[in-house]
Amino acid sequence: MRRIHILAIGLALLLGLLVVSVVTAQQPQPTPSDDQVNAIARQLYCPVCENTPLDVCPTTACAQWRELIRQKLAAGWNEQTIKDYFVSQYGARVLGTPPLKGLNILVYIIPPLAILAGVYVLFRAYRSWRRPVPLPDRSTSSEGSPPEMNTVQDEYIKRLEDEVRKR
């Protein structure tokens, strides 16, 4: 008889816990705040408007999409699942940042490479600007210049000296 009482009490406690857990599970989830909705909407672009983030787009469609995000958050969806949903509905163009696959990888690789190449070119140019330019030596008879330049220059100097002497 005592075992039946203990078993009945245990069964009653188990049923009580089951009822309490069902009641707590049916309590409504808190409504997501505008900040939570906009944090996701900021990463998505309006499929209708060109280059307009979903969080600032004034169209009715975007207001409906923000409300859809709110509903998905209230249903327990996480950020990535919501973004995947929008991509499946409207394509990858709704994402603020392109996914890392296919030719989209070039979007992440080319700009840093271009910046590095630009820095290298500027560095080389700066070094060449700072290097002094060697001047021809005037004490010798211009060894490095071609012979025809020497004769033209010599003729010019002779004519110039003749003109100065005449006066």
Between the alpha carbon of residue 163 and those of residues 14, 19, 85, 123, 154, the distances in Å are 126, 122, 92, 50, 14
Q: What distance lies between CA 95 and its chain's CA centroid?
A: 12
Of 93, 112, 114, nearest to 47 (Cα)? 93
Task: State pLDDT tens for residues 30-43.
Answer: 787 888 888 888 88
Q: pTM here? A: 0.50
Residue 119 pLDDT class (50, 70, 90 cuts):
very high
Task: State pLDDT tens for residues 65-91.
Answer: 899 999 999 988 888 999 999 889 888
